[in-house]
Structure 1
Amino acid sequence: MSKCKIIAEIGWNHMGSVELAKKMIDAAVVSGVDFCKFQTWKVENLKDGPWNNDGRIDIYKKAELSEDKHVELIEYCKLKKTKFLTSIFNIKDLDFLLRLGLKTIKIPSHEIYNLELIKKCSENFDQMFISVGACSWKEFENLLNSNLDLNKIYFMHCVSSYPLEEMNVNFPKLIKIKNLHNKIGYSGHLHGIDDAIAAISLGAMVVEKHFTIDNDLPGRDNKFAVLPEDMKKICDYRDSFHNMNIDRGLNVQECESDINKNYRGRWSKN
């Protein structure tokens, strides 16, 4: 079996600071992750809503990554030998991300309904992670039957609640998705790491958790994001789980040969 990929969802926890984002990348790399993920959006494309008047729009403006910042973070990820990943929210950003040479893209749960965006990404990227939070089962079935190249898609079970309560994690839905599609993942919002450990054990091929270096940093997601020491525990478990699932066949292993040859019947002296 292939080793589960781990995504550190830095998102906008950096609040627009490239230097802080780089520190988060550094910590994520030491923890053992495969991807450092960000979010690509422009405030100019934001619809009117309660965020116009409750202060959130100012936070969004501060946290927005410019095109130059995207380039700088991509280059930094290359330097640190980790993969840059981002979520796309608007088809207007597609050409820009393609110009950056990205081969993998994340579709967030917010855009699970957006078949135009998903199809365009399917046509242009080699690999896609699609979160299916806040998504009806009918919508998911429609996605499965929408002539996408499913070989390049990982569907990621997700419950879009921040933070998520244990009783709402709903892993039976992950199993149901797994029975319909062989590339399954999990994007978790439970506080702590128990959901990530369980998802790996259930066969998730990619697991995403929000990541920070300080839970006291501003921004909602920093409050429930996992810290480097906990991300390392997830990655260490991923490695151990992979090793424990190496197929050694049905017969006696070499490591058992001494017991097999010399210990059988040792307490049966005639």
Structure 2
Amino acid sequence: MDLNRLRYIGDRPVGPDHPVFVTAEIGINHNGDLENALALIDAAANAGCDAVKFQKRTPEICVPKEQQSVERDTPWGRMTYLEYRHRVEFDKDQYEAIGRYCATRGIVWFASPWDVPSVDFLELTDPPAHKIASACLTDDELLLRVRETQRTVILSTGMSTMEQIRHAVDVLGRERLILCHTTSSYPAPAGELNLRMLHTLAHAFPDVPIGYSGHEIGLQTTIAAVALGACFVERHVTLDRATWGSDQAASVEPTGLQRLVRDIRIVEAALGDGVKRVYDSELPILKKLRRAGVAAVPR
């Protein structure tokens, strides 16, 4: 294989000819509750995922000024949108607890920083990677700060043009990049997943491993992404899709996550290497059923 398409998240390789790297996107589905986050880590570890991912924001930067004082109903009562965004953010102590717990479960964790101070915050935890959310793909300041960390970076490409993607790749550099095809609707309809974009991205960036970040309902289309060559897969995970929150409905519950990882491993084993061979298991059938016909005479 082309070694230029091999990346590492921690000590785990990501690229062609390696097991698909499966990330359970916890995001903010924990709703600011550490116990929920730990339960979601359990669900991911029990399913056999390689990593869990969170989201980190500085609310004063990420919430538009005109939205900060808008009130909304939440499970914790009526509050401004800015107060809500603070309510679902974890602090340093909580992330340290997450790190310790992930270590006990043998699973990697990292996060999507949505602003430069969040990169600085996450850097204190020595993460194995950073993820750039589709919404941040055009934020050159953020991309440059992430590039400065010299860590593996996963870039999602939802709601972006090919021109914007090429620019983001140029800003981030390719040496430590994993590129993910994404459709950024929640949930994303099957007719808009456009999984053949995996091949388009692989052709456009032949020295970059290509992955898939899915926001659809169901598992089969994510499995199809693996069959089409995705070497990194990310799906949102929730304890209950009926839970309050913007990402819950497009998430996978623990039982579904177990099926997803199981089926990914089956599909990647079934893909093989493309070299035609006669398997030992076929020999008894060959001996029993193969007919030695008369060769056709060319005319």
Q: TM-score, normalised by structure 1?
A: 0.90
**Which residues of structure 1 form unaligned runs of 5+?**
none
Worse-superposed segment, 191-200 or 51-60: 51-60
Are 1:131 and 2:150 an aligned pair? no
Q: Residues 213 and 228 of structure 1 are in contact (CA less than 8 Å); yes or no, is this contact kept in structure 2?
A: yes
Q: Residues 41 and 65 of structure 1 are in contact (CA less than 8 Å); yes or no, is this contact kept in structure 2?
A: no
Residues 194, 248 of structure 1: alpha-carbon distance in 2 compared, 3 angstrom cutoff = closer
SS of 1:208's partner is strand
- Residues 22-66 of structure 1 deviation map (CA, whole Å, 9 limit, x = unaligned): 011111111121111111112233331335314233331211111
Q: TM-score, normalised by structure 2?
A: 0.82
Q: Aligned match of 1:189 in 215, 220, 223?
A: 215
Question: What residue in structure 2 maps to residue 49 of structure 1?
Answer: 66
Are 1:87 and 2:112 an aligned pair? yes
Residues 263, 100 of structure 1: alpha-carbon distance in 2 compared, 3 angstrom cutoff = same
Are 1:179 and 2:195 an aligned pair? no
Are 1:217 and 2:234 an aligned pair? no
The percent of aligned pairs where both chains have the same amino acid is 26
Question: What residue in structure 1 maps to residue 76 of structure 2?
Answer: none
1:80 CA drift (Å):
0.6
Question: What residue in structure 2 maps to residue 26 of structure 1?
Answer: 42
Question: What residue in structure 2 maps to residue 159 of structure 1?
Answer: 183
- Residues 69-104 of structure 1 deviation map (CA, whole Å, 9 limit, x = unaligned): 111111111111011121011111222222211121
Residues 180, 168 of structure 1: alpha-carbon distance in 2 compared, 3 angstrom cutoff = same
- Residues 89-136 of structure 1 deviation map (CA, whole Å, 9 limit, x = unaligned): 111122222221112110101110022322332231431111011212
Whole-angstrom distance in 1 between the partners of 2:187 and 2:68: 19
Residues 194, 257 of structure 1: alpha-carbon distance in 2 compared, 3 angstrom cutoff = closer
- Residues 206-230 of structure 1 deviation map (CA, whole Å, 9 limit, x = unaligned): 1111110112222121222111111
| Matched AA of 1:165 | P
- Residues 3-37 of structure 1 deviation map (CA, whole Å, 9 limit, x = unaligned): 11111111111111111110111111111211111
| Matched AA of 2:90 | L
Q: Aligned match of 2:53 in 37, 40, 51?
A: 37
Count of residue pairs brought into register by the alignment = 266
Cα RMSD over matched residues?
2.1
Whole-angstrom distance in 2 between the partners of 1:174 and 1:106: 18
Whole-angstrom distance in 2 between the partners of 1:87 and 1:265: 57
Question: What residue in structure 1 maps to residue 146 of structure 2?
Answer: 121
Whole-angstrom distance in 2 between the partners of 1:219 and 1:258: 57
- Residues 153-192 of structure 1 deviation map (CA, whole Å, 9 limit, x = unaligned): 1111111111211221122333211212241111111112
| Matched AA of 1:60 | R
Residues 252, 178 of structure 1: alpha-carbon distance in 2 compared, 3 angstrom cutoff = same
More helix by share: 1
Residues 267, 169 of structure 1: alpha-carbon distance in 2 compared, 3 angstrom cutoff = closer
Question: What residue in structure 1 maps to residue 25 of structure 2?
Answer: 9
1:265 CA drift (Å):
5.6
SS of 1:220's partner is coil
Residues 247, 173 of structure 1: alpha-carbon distance in 2 compared, 3 angstrom cutoff = closer
SS of 2:45's partner is helix
Q: Residues 103 and 125 of structure 1 are in contact (CA less than 8 Å); yes or no, is this contact kept in structure 2?
A: no
